[in-house]
Structure 1
């Protein structure tokens, strides 16, 4: 597909997912050779109408240069003229080359089994599905009455293992709160987090490009962090599809039952546990986010341990980055939850409802430090931003986070220390971000 047509599809993706009726287009797209029957079956197995529309548009971008004009023709034939006009935008598009009709081949007369409708032509011996197990995918062998004169195989069945996707086409998509703690009270014993402003600026631009309402708060004390989280949870999220919270700060370990770790305010008061942070947005405290994805990105240390990694074979090694100026977001001289007060440990064990539709992405493994460069920002945020830029329009969030894990794991601090991000994923479906057209590469 030509780049200009691909951009038109991406620009109007939200409208297509909302309005497109895929079932009315399948025959036309099949007859024009845009999709094969297997591809149509795969799209149909995606789930709801919205999911099928999203999959259809995504697959359409991978087809040839005639796919876009053929898609417009199919829209008009199906009476979906409003979408066709939206995509065409007054542009005169060439009509696709007609797909030649396949030649008619008359088969030689053969004696077929009475239940031949269970079969399809192909390679290999005669097979059929076990009638006692109609859903069984592995066929059983049957004696072929015509020996080698006829080879048959079972008819392909559509797949039903595709996950559905969250609705993510609201405009705007939702709120994104970024808490950026840089300058800490000298009495807290916590160092200034040089490079964090770079992280904050990257993430603010990135999530605006993903159609979020971005709210940035800087240098918050412990009580102010709680206040901002509470205020966001009390907003009406009914018009939106998602909510994002990003915290850039010093951190530590914390007692927990589901989500490890805790983050500090600039006053150094008892840290706010990640479990408490997510609790503000559960079904009880934030009903308008019920069933919607709630995403948390934590750039902070999970403790004071430093990972020196393990030796790899030469064939597995890849170039690593990092320099002598890299710092950590750990508490100086502390590597455990001993520094937390009794009251904060109680908060960290607050019982939560089932944490469905929540994903918490950590910059580092629980208990370990997280590295940050003064000039370029933290490893985690730098790579997260790059992965979102390169893949957000086509790849779901969980797969992108695995890309982040892999790339961050290749970095080295001081030529020795490593970092391994990870996430606690309680999402029930795939999550694809919106990407605003002016921000696409």
Structure 2
């Protein structure tokens, strides 16, 4: 790629999953985009980046080597395409002297233990917690904590991977041993386990975009989850909430405190917050795009999408702050994101396209993603990664969305025929 151009250059680090919406958004904003692949091979557990959409793909690891390769391009920003890229993007942006959240609190924006401790130090409401590599120590903390259930999970994974709600000491021990014997979804070994107090209440998503410390709340969604006998709490559907509905103003104000405590000044953030009796309390926050982002769908129900807003926050910062700084989204239509759970267990023999087309033909369905192809092993859902489909629904008629959701619940397992 030519390094002389009037167009600004943006860098996306590991543009997996929702990061795939960045290239089109940067292009629309008049920028060229380069991809940094931080691993020699693409991570197999995640939706891969479409490298054809980038002007160049740089495969390298190590901050110094990447800074030397990127500096001649004089990029305007470096953004993480997914969660495991957050710390590398922070380091690169800081070293290159571009808009950056910096590295001082980078670990607290990634490691879930450090995250909650940063909130505690800032006087922001948060959970009690303990971490250890010893299952016995985790059991001892849970027993001394004096109240079950407790939550046991990896320190740095995502998508509800390895998250267990434990009702007693034996369940804590079993969950900790499972986590320590496994890798997270990014392929890293779990060397420690986090135990936290259970936050009782309704859980919400609060998505934001920031530009030089000016925050815009671009969507609040209510989680509906299902608790499995194993203690794993799986995603079911996310429901868009009106900005003036209770408790949305309180959630947005609280997330503003969280962003300040973690020194999040630039780019997107995806917070999960439970509305407890004491008030909003953070589950966790990630300084990357919402994994359920779909630009066309969000444009339809919200009038904008987090990827395009994030690009504007960097590339046209003054315009973004004038238009969105300190603002709150509008709900244009009712909307649901449904990550379909399944109890199917076996090898996919075929996908019944007639059922897929029946689902696509429902009036409120905006998009359907069938996740598993013939020949692939399908297993009962235990986390977001093992859901069987993703369906986006939106309509001006809320009753139509609910009715279509119920129809999809009945049809979802008929999509797959096992060998």
- TM-score norm. by structure 2 comes to 0.22
Higher strand share: 2
Q: Which has the larger radius of gyration?
A: 1
**Normalised TM-score (structure 1):** 0.21
